[in-house]
């Protein structure tokens, strides 16, 4: 209902005229290079990203997906381009982005590990096909709910009803390919997950994706936007490269925030994890209906119901993780964001360490 029917005439119209006037039920998401809509293609539900032709490099990057087929990667079904616009038609499993799930729930350690293992599997496969994703972050991980897992190794011993799929290859490159996207990434805020070598426009490698995954793992644990106390992307980029600023550098972040009062974001005491946590990243709120008690109560009830339904997929079969296991998880993501790329864990090493934590956390 409300989905775009991607028959040949409609695709030709979209390629010529661009995105239609959207309705609330049509839009799946908006990015720096295009808008993603719900659609029907060959009698199946899909997602279609409509991109302006000026972003030709994005279409080229998305084409890397044509040669990738993996259970932890969103499948590309068709890519079309014309003089004005391009279309990227992808599978659309039922679920939500990892960003929204982190907004709503505090995930138990065992699920944070399972999610990370899925992303590691996707990256390992991409790297084996000489593709770097270069935009690993929670908004680019789709959690397909209601999907039975058929995990490999220790992850197969834990029952779950979801699978994670890496998506949005608009920043991807082939290994050894020149990448000139850093300036655009800085302007759009993705730099909060970017490795120092990417920020310096140095040669990129598999380690650049591992760095971004390490930042994402930190976010899964803390449920905060990386460097949430700072608004200025240029300041963050400079500090990451020159002074090894990382999301857990709390003392360093407080000093920077005090030196730049206009950059101070919400403090720990102000942060409401059950609200839209990353409201700064999504822009100002246009309407304020908080003075209407009936509206507020109804909205809170709907949010609570959605959160309760979502939580059913992330119940922990094991007791609450010990401080020792949480520390092991923290140590692991810190090993992913060291400055020297050659000193970071490989995807194989990371998989091994994650499975050790999983085995210990699932033990009775």
pTM, full prediction: 0.84
Of 7 and 188, the one with more pLDDT: 7
Q: Is the pLDDT of residue 179 over 70?
A: no
Q: In what order do the strands lie in the sheet with 95-97?
A: 95-97, 141-145, 162-166
Q: How far apart are CA 323 and CA 10, in angstroms?
A: 55
Give the mean pLDDT of 144-169. Answer: 76
Could you say which architecture CATH assigns to the domain 4-91?
2-Layer Sandwich (3.30)
So what's the pLDDT on residue 283?
41
Residue-level pLDDT at 287: 45
Q: With 0-12 CB in 10 A as exposed, 13-18 as middle and 19+ as buried, what is 327? A: exposed
Query: What share of the chain in percent tops pLDDT 70?
Result: 79
Q: How many whole angstroms separate alpha carbon 337 and alpha carbon 333?
A: 7
pLDDT band at 189 (very low <50, low <70, confident <90, very high): low
Q: Is residue 226 very low, low, confident or very high in pLDDT (cuts 50, 70, 90)?
A: very high
Determine contact, residues 140/96, Cβ cutoff 8 Å.
Answer: no
pLDDT of residue 293: 67
Look up the CATH superfamily of 95-362: Transferase(Phosphotransferase) domain 1 (1.10.510.10)
pLDDT score for 317: 65
Candidates 314, 350, 311, 308; CA nearest to 110 is: 314
Q: What percent of the chain has pLDDT over 90?
A: 48
pLDDT of residue 268: 38
Does 265 have pLDDT greater than 50?
no
**How much is the pLDDT for 266?**
42
Residue 280 has pLDDT above 70, yes or no: no
227: left (phi over 0), alpha (psi -120 to 50) or beta: left
Q: Where are the domains of the chain?
A: 4-91, 95-362
pLDDT at residue 290 in the model: 52
**Residue 322, Cβ neighbours under 10 Å: how many?**
12
The whole-number pLDDT of residue 32 equals 67
Question: What residues contact 237, with CB distance under 8 A and at least 6 apart?
Answer: 186, 191, 194, 199
- Give the mean pLDDT of the chain: 82
| Residue 353, pLDDT above cutoff 50 | yes
Provide mean pLDDT across the span 98-107: 94
* Tens digit of each residue's pLDDT (9 = 90 or more) over 54-87: 777 788 888 888 889 999 999 999 999 888 899 9
Give mean pLDDT, residues 148-166.
72
């Amino acid at each position: 209902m409300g989905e775009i029917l991607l028959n040949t005439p409609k695709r030709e119209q979209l390629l010529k005229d661009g995105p239609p006037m959207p309705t609330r039920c049509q839009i799946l998401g908006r990015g720096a290079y295009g808008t993603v809509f719900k659609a029907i293609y060959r009698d199946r539900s899909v997602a279609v990203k409509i991109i302006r032709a000026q972003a030709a490099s994005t279409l080229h990057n998305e084409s890397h997906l044509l040669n990738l087929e993996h259970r932890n990667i969103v499948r590309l079904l068709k890519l079309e381009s014309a003089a004005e616009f391009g279309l990227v038609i992808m599978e659309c499993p039922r679920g939500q982005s990892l960003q929204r799930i982190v907004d709503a729930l505090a995930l138990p350690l065992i699920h944070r590990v399972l999610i990370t293992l899925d992303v590691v599997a996707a990256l390992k496969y991409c790297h084996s096909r000489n593709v770097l994703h270069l935009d690993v972050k929670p908004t680019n991980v789709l959690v397909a709910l209601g999907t039975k897992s058929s995990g490999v190794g220790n992850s197969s011993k834990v029952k779950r009803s979801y699978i994670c799929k890496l998506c949005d290859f608009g920043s991807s490159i082939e290994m050894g390919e020149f990448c000139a996207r850093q300036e655009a990434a800085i302007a759009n805020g993705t730099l909060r997950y970017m490795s120092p070598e990417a920020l310096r426009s140095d040669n990129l490698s598999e380690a650049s994706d591992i760095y971004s995954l390490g930042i994402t793992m930190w976010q899964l644990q803390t449920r905060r936007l990386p460097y949430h106390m700072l608004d200025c992307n240029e300041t963050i980029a400079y500090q990451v490269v020159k002074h090894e600023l990382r999301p857990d550098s709390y003392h360093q972040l407080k000093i920077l925030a005090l030196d730049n009062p206009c950059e101070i974001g919400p403090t720990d005491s102000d942060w409401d994890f059950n609200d839209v946590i990353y409201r700064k990243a999504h822009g100002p709120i246009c309407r304020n209906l908080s003075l209407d008690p009936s509206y507020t109560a109804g909205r809170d009830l709907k949010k609570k119901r959605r959160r309760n339904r979502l939580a059913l997929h992330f119940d922990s079969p094991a007791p609450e993780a010990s401080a020792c296991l949480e520390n092991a998880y923290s140590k692991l993501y810190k090993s992913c964001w060291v400055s020297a790329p050659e000193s970071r864990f490989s995807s194989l090493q990371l998989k091994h360490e994650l499975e050790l934590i999983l085995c210990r956390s699932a033990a009775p």
